[in-house]
């Protein structure tokens, strides 16, 4: 099978790593990929999605897997399907679950799926009235995609009003903020649940937990994610079942019944309050770094899983996972998440510890290759992933590897998986 992976992060690298283990995969391409995906396959320039579809036709690509949300929201899946290509991901209409918070919240309401009480509006007056009617803290969200930055948790009504004003005027996020969702704050713990669906059937993956804040003990600003682990013991059978029955099943069924079947990865960002799940957000793709810890746990060949999901054939798939744990620690550049950082050479010590070589690996993101050397180019640079029979063992391997990777300005959290490992 010839496969094209769209994206350039550690998420796409980890999908590539899983595909490399898979004997049925011949040619592997990344569009655009990064300085390290070159070791897994070929990188190609991305022009328009139409041009990429032409490329896929020419090279007999059997399956395209889309990593990030932007191409999905822009309709890459529809463009590829129109040309008879097989592609894993939701249509542009179904991608609205992530592309528009208003669409998502109203969908949840129509299908009685638990979520925070909310108001959607483009009127400052209405926003103020609603803010006065609920208690603090208050959450204000821009409608459209804002690269993870469009959510303000206001501690006071004044702050909530100010945030709504800045969004609605277009000052904060331009067009993406000209409609807003204002909602109640849910106080609990967060979980990410991923379901892969072919529009009809779905499979749920082991539950993962991300660490969004920059610093240890969940301090500092929000980031794209500083580390993740799976499976998390924070979820038991009963809660898992509740999430399936109250959230995943009604979403997949609801999307199908509304004529926008959801094909691809449904990423439910949940808040668990008193053992009850509520949807905070939907994403229509894998989380990053969650994908980096889920892919190594997948026993089923990755190409089979994605191909069957893209061809309405999940019914014939028996998905299997290793009975192990994975922990991923993100190494980021000096100025992440505030701004750019100077390129810095990455040195990885020779790994002499045999166990470490077997139980840990790197998934690369913000890296470039020049004259045989790998450079950190800013943002999240790479993820050190440890695999173990216990969560503690997986974490220890991940941190051992973290100590073997060097670049100027390297920073990381030292407490990934702390919620699951504290006594
Ligand atoms: P979102 O992009 O909607 O998931 O929001 C980003 C982050 O803001 C979430 O991961 C939560 O940490 C937080 N958040 C969003 N909505 C709420 C809410 N209603 N209550 C509490 N925290 C929230
Ligand atoms: N790790 C969270 C995200 O990918 O949105």
Burial of 26 (C-beta count, 10 Å sphere; 0-12/13-18/19+): exposed
Q: Is the C-beta atom of 296 inside 6 A of ligand 2? A: no
**Is the minimum distance from the CB of 69 to ligand 2 under 6 angstroms?**
no
Domain spanning 189-316, CATH architecture: 2-Layer Sandwich (3.30)
- 306-310 mean pLDDT: 97
- Atom number in ligand 2 closest to CA 228: 1
Confidence of residue 147 (pLDDT cuts 50, 70, 90): low
Q: Helix, strand or coil for residue 8?
A: coil
Q: Which atom of ligand 2 has the smallest separation from the CA of 225? A: 1
Res 38: pLDDT: 95
Contact 393, 421 (CB under 8 A): no
The beta strand positions in 40-188, using DSSP E, are 42-43, 63-66, 87-88, 118-121, 138-142, 151-154, 180-184
- Reported as a single tens digit per residue, the pLDDT across 269-284 is 999 999 999 999 999 9
Q: Output the CA torsion 332→338→342→346 (10° steps).
A: 0
β-strand partners of 171: none
> Percent of the chain having pLDDT more than 90?
84
Domains of the chain, residue spans: 3-91, 123-178, 189-316, 325-421
Q: How far is the CA of 182 from the centre of ligand 1 (A)?
A: 11
List, chain by chain if needed, residues with CB within 6 Å of any ligand 1 atom. 116, 139, 141, 151, 153, 183, 185-186, 190, 212, 269, 271, 280-281
Question: How close is the Cα of 119 to the center of ligand 2, in Å?
Answer: 24
Q: How confident is the model at residue 422 (pLDDT cuts 50, 70, 90)?
A: confident
- Mean pLDDT (the chain) is 94
Strands 87-88 and 63-66: parallel
Cα–Cα dist 198/200, whole Å: 6
Q: Using the predicted structure, report yes or no on whether residue 179 has a pLDDT greater than 90.
A: no
**How many C-beta atoms lie closer than 10 Å to residue 418's C-beta?**
16
Reported as a single tens digit per residue, the pLDDT across 77-98 is 999 999 999 999 999 999 999 9
- In 10 A of CB 174, how many CB atoms? 12
Q: Tell me the torsion sign for CA atoms 362, 366, 368, 374.
A: negative
Closest of 171, 101, 107, 197 to residue 140, by C-alpha: 101
Kindly indicate the confidence band of residue 208, based on its pLDDT and cuts at 50, 70 and 90: very high
Q: Whose CA is nearest to atom 2 of ligand 2?
A: 287
**Partner residues linked to 130 by β-bridges:** none
CA separation for the pair 378, 374 (Å, rounded)? 12
Pocket test for ligand 1, best of 69, 100, 139 (most atoms within 8 A of CB): 139
Helix or strand or coil: residue 375? Answer: strand
* Region 325-421: CATH code: 3.90.600.10
What is the CATH topology of the domain spanning 123-178?
Answer: Dna Ligase; domain 1 (3.30.1490)
Q: How far is the CA of 151 from the centre of ligand 1 (A)?
A: 7
Which residue's CA is the nearest one to ligand 1's atom 18?
Answer: 185
pLDDT in tens, 333-386: 999 998 889 999 999 999 888 899 999 999 999 999 999 999 999 899 999 999
Kindly give the interhelix angle for 249-257 and 101-110, rounded to the nearest 10 degrees: 100
In the CATH hierarchy, which top-level class contains the domain 3-91?
A: alpha beta
Query: Are residues 314 and 197 in contact, defined by beta-carbon separation less than 8 angstroms?
Result: yes
If one residue of 134, 280, 288 were mutated to test the ligand 1 pocket, choosing by the most ligand atoms within 8 A of its CB, it would be: 280
Atom number in ligand 1 closest to CA 186: 20
């Amino acid at each position: 099978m010839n496969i094209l992976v769209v994206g350039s992060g550690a998420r796409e690298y980890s999908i590539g790593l899983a595909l490399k283990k898979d004997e049925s995969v011949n040619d592997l391409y990344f569009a655009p990929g990064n300085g390290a995906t070159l070791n897994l396959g070929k990188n190609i320039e991305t022009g328009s999605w139409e041009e990429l579809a032409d490329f896929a036709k020419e090279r007999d690509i059997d399956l395209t897997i889309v990593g990030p949300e932007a191409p999905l929201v822009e309709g890459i899946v529809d463009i590829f399907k129109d040309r008879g290509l097989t592609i894993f991901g939701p249509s542009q209409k179904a991608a609205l679950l992530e592309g528009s918070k208003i669409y998502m919240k109203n969908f949840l309401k129509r299908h009685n799926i638990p979520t925070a009480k909310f108001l959607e509006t483009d009127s400052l007056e209405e926003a103020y009235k609603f803010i006065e009617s609920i208690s603090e803290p208050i959450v204000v969200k821009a409608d459209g995609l804002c690269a993870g930055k469009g959510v303000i948790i206001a501690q006071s009504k004044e702050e909530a009003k100010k945030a709504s004003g800045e969004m609605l005027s277009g000052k904060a996020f331009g067009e993406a903020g000209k409609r807003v969702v204002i909602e109640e704050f849910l106080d609990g713990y967060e979980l990410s649940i991923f379901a892969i669906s072919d529009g009809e059937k779905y499979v749920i993956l082991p539950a993962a937990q991300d660490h969004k804040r920059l610093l240890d003990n969940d301090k500092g600003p929000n980031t794209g994610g500083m580390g993740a682990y799976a499976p998390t013991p924070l979820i038991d059978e009963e809660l898992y079942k509740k999430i399936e029955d109250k959230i995943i099943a009604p979403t997949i069924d609801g999307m199908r019944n509304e004529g926008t079947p959801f094909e691809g990865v449904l990423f439910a960002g949940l808040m668990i309050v008193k053992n009850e799940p509520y949807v905070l957000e939907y994403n229509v793709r894998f989380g990053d770094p969650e994908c980096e810890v889920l892919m190594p746990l997948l026993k089923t060949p990755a190409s089979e899983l994605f191909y069957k999901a893209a061809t309405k054939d999940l019914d014939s798939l028996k998905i299997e996972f290793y009975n192990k744990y994975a922990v991923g620690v993100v190494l980021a550049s000096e100025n992440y998440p505030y701004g750019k950082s100077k390129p810095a050479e990455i040195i990885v010590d020779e790994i002499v510890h045999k166990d470490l070589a077997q139980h840990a690996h790197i998934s690369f993101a913000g890296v470039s290759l020049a004259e045989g050397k790998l450079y950190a180019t800013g943002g999240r640079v790479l993820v050190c992933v440890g695999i173990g029979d216990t969560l503690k063992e997986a974490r220890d391997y991940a941190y051992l590897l973290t100590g073997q990777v060097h670049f100027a300005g390297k920073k990381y959290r030292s407490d990934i998986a702390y919620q699951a490992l504290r006594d």
